[in-house]
Amino acid sequence: MPIARPAASVALEGFELRVLNVPLVAPFTTSFGTETVREVIIVRALTTDGDGWGEIVTQASPLYSSEYTQGAWDVATRFLVPALLGRGTLAPEDVAPILEPFVGHRMAKAGLELAVLDAALRAEGRPLGEYLGAVRDRVPSGVSVGIQRDPAALVESVRGYLDEGYVRIKIKIKPGRDVADTAAVRAEFGATPLQVDANSAYTLADIETLAELDRFDLLLIEQPLQEDDIVDHATLARHLTTPVCLDESIVSLKAATDALALGAASVVNIKAGRVGGYLEAVRIHDLCRDASVPVWCGGMLETGIGRAANAALAALPGFTLPGDVSASSRFYHRDIVTEPAVLEDGHVRVPTGPGLGVEIDPLALDDFTVAREILRR
Ligand code: OSB
Ligand code: MG
């Protein structure tokens, strides 16, 4: 369902942007690299009715997408924030249309939109989940497990998460670390809902290797090919029994529409950052729901800000598969919100307070801040 009731307008006074370096509890390895610290941008919208918070989920290097933190900082401070401040008073639904002339940079746009949305909803006393159309008060929690030293180490890592109660395991794969890793996890945990994520590490030349994964009863294979390989994903999907799910390729409602029309995906990972905001994410949810295509909420190692918003999004009715909406402790010893998301019976609660429904821990925020800029009208 489209947003039922728009949010009230806010009078913008400025934006504060910060780059944070938040240490991870353990290195996170994917087919594109290893991270030990989460470098992320936190946005604070300053309005006459109070502040709102957002998160720009870029990573330090353009390896997952073309966006990266310093690029997002540059485009936000040079173009996006001035365009919003030039408007002054605006509703959250106006943010994307105002920023539309600037090509791409969807993660930067999404973080700014979320900050305005949070400010507007806090001022109205309305929870984000209710605004987006949430139908659940908690969401089943999956975990994304990075590539480990060897398959045995992967099995032990997965065991730890299953002991904590996570209801679905996703393992990262890459060429040379695919069939054996998946086989090891499947052999040890026969009944566990399991999926794999390749982060674009393959080409159609690998089609027979990818078909070997069919025997592991996977929920899906996520983004085996490149971001713009839509037709190749359709070809691959015809060759596999494992459902093909797209992540990187789904950068907009239009991209999702085209991917479904071409048969390139039978499942969609929705990430608000990647698609330019939570409002576009809802539109993709609606499209997939009308097409009976299951969706799930992806993650970008969000801090407590983005994590709260993801829990709200994942509570929409079309999110029929567990998302990468883990407890904060999956990635962080210390978060920047006062009540980080916890795992309860394999679920994460949808916050019920106004806006994001989480409060910032100002000391933690300051401790992790490595750069800060305030732009005023
Ligand atoms: O492909 O889903 C991905 C993290 C960073 C960039 C891309 C991806 C991921 C994850 C982690 O898999 C998901 C999470 O935040 O739990
Ligand atoms: Mg992915």
Orientation of helix 304-314 relative to helix 106-124, angle to 10°: 80
How far is residue 31 CA from its own chain's centroid?
A: 18
- Check pLDDT > 80 for residue 1: no
Task: For residue 38, give the nearest of 48, 30, 49, 28 by alpha carbon.
Answer: 28
Q: What pLDDT does residue 220 have?
A: 98
- 300 touches ligand 1 (CB under 6 Å): yes
State the distance from the centre of ligand 2 to the C-alpha of 205, rounded, in angstroms. 21
State the distance from the centre of ligand 2 to the C-alpha of 298, rounded, in angstroms. 7
CA–CA separation, 181 and 267 (whole Å): 23
| Closest ligand by atom to 40 CA | 1
- 299 touches ligand 1 (CB under 6 Å): yes
Q: What pLDDT does residue 233 have?
A: 98
State the distance from the centre of ligand 1 to the C-alpha of 307, rounded, in angstroms. 12
> How does pLDDT run across 142-162, given as a tens digit for each residue?
999 999 999 999 999 999 999
> How does pLDDT run across 31-52, given as a tens digit for each residue?
999 999 999 999 999 999 999 9
Q: Is 24 helix (H, G, I), strand (E, B) or coil?
A: strand
State the distance from the centre of ligand 2 to the C-alpha of 194, rounded, in angstroms. 14
Q: Which of 69, 202, 301 to mutate to test the pocket of ligand 1 (most atoms within 8 A of CB)?
A: 301
How many degrees, rounded to 5, is the angle at CA 101 between CA 99 and CA 107? 45
Portion of the chain with pLDDT greater than 90, in percent: 98
Q: Is the overall model pTM greater than 0.85, yes or no?
A: yes
- 248 touches ligand 1 (CB under 6 Å): no
Going 243 to 247 to 248 to 251, the CA torsion angle's sign is positive
- 144 touches ligand 1 (CB under 6 Å): yes
> How does pLDDT run across 275-301, given as a tens digit for each residue?
999 999 999 999 999 999 999 999 999
DSSP H or E stretch at residue 173:
none
> How does pLDDT run across 182-214, given as a tens digit for each residue?
999 999 999 999 999 999 999 999 999 999 999
| 271 catalytic per annotation | yes
> How does pLDDT run across 203-248, given as a tens digit for each residue?
999 999 999 999 999 999 999 999 999 999 999 999 999 999 999 9
- Check pLDDT > 90 for residue 3: no
Contacts of 255 (CB under 8 A, 6+ apart): 230, 249
- Nearest protein Cα to ligand 1, atom 1: 199
Q: What pLDDT does residue 2 have?
A: 77
Structural domain 130-349, CATH architecture: Alpha-Beta Barrel (3.20)
- Nearest protein Cα to ligand 1, atom 5: 300
State the distance from the centre of ligand 2 to the C-alpha of 48, rounded, in angstroms. 38
Structural domain 10-125+361-376, CATH architecture: 2-Layer Sandwich (3.30)
| Closest ligand by atom to 297 CA | 1
Task: For residue 119, give the nearest of 16, 229, 8, 26 by alpha carbon.
Answer: 8
pLDDT-derived band at 4 (thresholds 50, 70, 90) equals confident
Phi, psi of 265 (to 5 degrees): -150, 140
Among residues 109, 170, 174, 271, the one annotated as catalytic is 271
> How does pLDDT run across 97-141, given as a tens digit for each residue?
999 999 999 999 999 999 999 999 999 999 999 999 999 999 999
Portion of the chain with pLDDT greater than 70, in percent: 100
Domain boundaries, the chain: 10-125+361-376, 130-349
| Closest ligand by atom to 301 CA | 1
Tokens standing for 65?
């997408």
> How does pLDDT run across 320-377, given as a tens digit for each residue?
999 999 999 999 999 999 999 999 999 999 999 999 999 999 999 999 999 999 999 9
- 113 touches ligand 1 (CB under 6 Å): no
Q: What pLDDT does residue 248 have?
A: 98
What rounded mean pLDDT belongs to the chain? Answer: 97
